[in-house]
């Protein structure tokens, strides 16, 4: 049986979190759909797209400090890249005529990309009888630190009401709900569905046999330090390398530092120099599966992005979070503090980060007993089922017989 086509748009600008989650979602969607993936950011060399997902690489656009956009392809200026992207996105719509469109984050974020997303949504809305189901894919917690947050949220709610059939929140509602980080004055009328967290298919479910086997794996006495893709992780990684001799001397606690594929090359060389010759310290650019590495380790130190937090929770490892908290970036701090309130992890604010403080916090975390987490990780499969159900409802409504128009009503006594 031919699977209906689903067009999934993802723009990642800082880090890999949006791409990683969207790839995990796309892999789950292939169970019910033929997935065409519009990739708007650079494709890291160490990242492999999911099997059976067709990738359309748009000219990459990234984000500089201060939120300015920049072309990631030297062949194009920013304006040229934006034009080519719009053309490619609309060409993909015309070519595929998808039954479902999924847009990651927009309109709750990615406002700078409205110029290429709205033409796609307008084309979809004008599709008449073949109008696709349109859904937004969002993570558990939205950014809330903007100077004009209510105005932003009102615009997002208006756009969602006009263009979207559903909002898929990839979270367990017991952990986070959309209204906690999205507070518009304009009521959101688009239905909101909580899917559970989206984790890679090879991540064990809570309490499953794979998790019980993992508990029997001998943990190495080491701390794993990671920062997602690494693009904004240098301060944490550098502080960890500086703290490592104290931990090795006092506790014989080893350390594996995973720099991340997006860490700038000059920063990578500086870390290599700082780590050279240190007993008990290993430095890697990337690892194939962070969750597997954490299962065999004693402790995790990381920022608190969506995907890393899931890896840490599934590995059942003690965790210290140092959330990324640049201007207006509140999401990781919010997530880390929620986990701390649940006694599932400890938190060190990035403003307090130093080698000395990090060493002390790692030592304290080594004796910390985290409370178990029971999070719903069925987000990819549930998203596929929800979208399939919405599509079937749309098709059933289109197939339903339409009543003949009533042009004239005859009334008793010849009165018309």
Evaluate whether 20 touches 198 at the Cβ level (below 8 Å).
Answer: no
- Residue 87 above 70 pLDDT? yes
**Which has the closest alpha carbon to 383: 120, 143, 133?**
133
State the Rg of the chain over Cα. 24
pLDDT-derived band at 88 (thresholds 50, 70, 90) equals very high
* SS3 state of residue 193: strand
Report whether 328 contacts 252 (CB < 8 A): no
> For residue 139, what pLDDT is reported?
97
Amino acid 125: pLDDT: 92
* pLDDT higher than 50, residue 342: yes
Q: Can 5-200+377-399 and 209-365 be said to share one CATH topology? A: yes
- Asked if residues 352 and 367 have their Cβ atoms less than 8 Å apart, the reply is no
The separation between the first and the last C-alpha atoms of the chain, rounded to the nearest angstrom, is: 53
Q: What is the pLDDT of residues 174-189, one digit of tens each?
A: 999 999 999 999 999 9
Query: Edge to edge, what strands does the sheet with 220-226 contain?
Result: 281-284, 254-258, 220-226, 297-302, 318-321, 346-347
Higher pLDDT, 123 or 127: 123
Report the predicted TM-score, pTM, of the whole model to 2 decimal places: 0.90
User: What is the predicted pLDDT for the residue at 217?
Assistant: 65
pLDDT tens sequence across 154-210: 999 999 999 999 999 999 999 999 999 999 999 999 999 999 999 987 644 444 444
Residue 74 host element (H or E) = none
Structure token pair of residue 391: 């599509």
Q: Which CATH number among 3.40.50.970, 3.40.50.2000, 3.40.50.1260, 1.10.10.60 corresponds to the domain 5-200+377-399?
A: 3.40.50.2000
How many CB atoms neighbour CB 293 within 10 A? Answer: 21
Q: Please say whether the beta carbons of 66 and 35 come within 8 A.
A: no
Q: How much is the pLDDT for 275? A: 97
Tokens 């794996």, residue located: 217
| 50-63 tens-digit pLDDT | 999 999 999 999 98
The DSSP H or E segment spanning 18 is helix 17-29
State in words which class domain 209-365 has. alpha beta
What count of other Cβ atoms lies within 10 Å of the Cβ of residue 103? 24
Provide the residue ranges of all domains of the chain, joining segments of one domain with +.
Answer: 5-200+377-399, 209-365
Q: For residues 23 and 8, give the distance between their C-alpha atoms in angstroms, rounded to a whole number.
A: 10
Q: pLDDT tens digits for 236-294?
A: 999 999 999 999 999 999 999 999 998 999 999 999 999 999 999 999 999 999 999 99
Encode pLDDT of 17-53 as tens digits: 899 999 999 999 999 999 999 999 988 877 889 999 9
Q: Using omega within 30 degrees of 0 as the cis cutoff, is the peptide bond preceding 82 cis?
A: no
């Amino acid at each position: 049986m031919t699977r209906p086509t689903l067009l999934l748009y993802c723009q990642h600008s800082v880090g890999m979190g949006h791409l990683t989650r969207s790839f995990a979602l796309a892999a789950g969607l292939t169970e019910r759909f033929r997935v065409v993936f519009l990739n708007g950011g650079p494709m890291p060399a160490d990242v492999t797209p999911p099997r059976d997902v067709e990738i359309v690489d748009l000219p990459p656009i990234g984000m500089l400090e201060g939120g300015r956009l920049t072309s990631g392809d030297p062949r194009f200026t920013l304006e040229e890249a934006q034009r080519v992207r719009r053309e490619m996105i609309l060409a993909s719509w015309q070519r595929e005529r998808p039954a479902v469109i999924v847009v990651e984050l927009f309109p709750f974020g990615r406002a700078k990309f409205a110029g290429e997303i709205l033409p796609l949504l307008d084309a979809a809305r004008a599709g008449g009888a073949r109008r696709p189901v349109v859904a937004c894919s969002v993570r558990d917690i939205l950014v809330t630190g903007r100077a004009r947050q209510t105005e932003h949220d009102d615009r997002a709610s208006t756009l969602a009401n006009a263009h979207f059939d559903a909002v898929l929140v990839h979270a367990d509602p017991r952990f986070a709900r959309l209204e906690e980080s999205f507070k518009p004055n304009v009521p959101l009328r688009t239905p909101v569905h909580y899917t559970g967290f989206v984790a890679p298919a090879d991540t064990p479910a809570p309490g499953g046999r794979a998790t019980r086997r993992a508990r029997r794996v001998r943990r190495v006495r080491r701390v794993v330090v990671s920062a997602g893709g690494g693009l904004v992780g240098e301060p944490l990684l550098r502080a960890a390398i500086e703290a490592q001799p104290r931990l090795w001397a006092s506790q014989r606690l080893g350390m594996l530092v995973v720099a991340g594929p997006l860490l700038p090359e000059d920063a990578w060389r500086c870390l290599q120099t700082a780590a050279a010759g240190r007993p008990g310290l290993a430095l890697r650019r990337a690892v194939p599966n962070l969750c597997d590495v954490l299962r065999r380790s004693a402790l995790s130190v990381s920022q608190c992005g969506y995907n890393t937090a899931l890896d840490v929770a599934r590995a059942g490892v003690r965790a210290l979070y140092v959330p990324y908290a640049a201007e207006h970036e509140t999401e990781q701090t919010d997530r880390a503090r929620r986990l701390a309130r649940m006694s599932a992890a400890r938190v060190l604010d990035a403003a307090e980060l130093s080698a000395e403080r990090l060493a002390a916090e790692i030592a304290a975390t080594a004796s910390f007993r985290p409370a178990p987490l029971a999070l719903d990780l069925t987000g990819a499969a549930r998203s596929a089922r929800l979208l399939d159900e919405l599509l079937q409802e749309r098709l059933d409504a289109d197939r339903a017989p339409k009543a003949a128009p009533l042009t004239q009503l005859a009334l008793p006594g010849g009165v018309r």
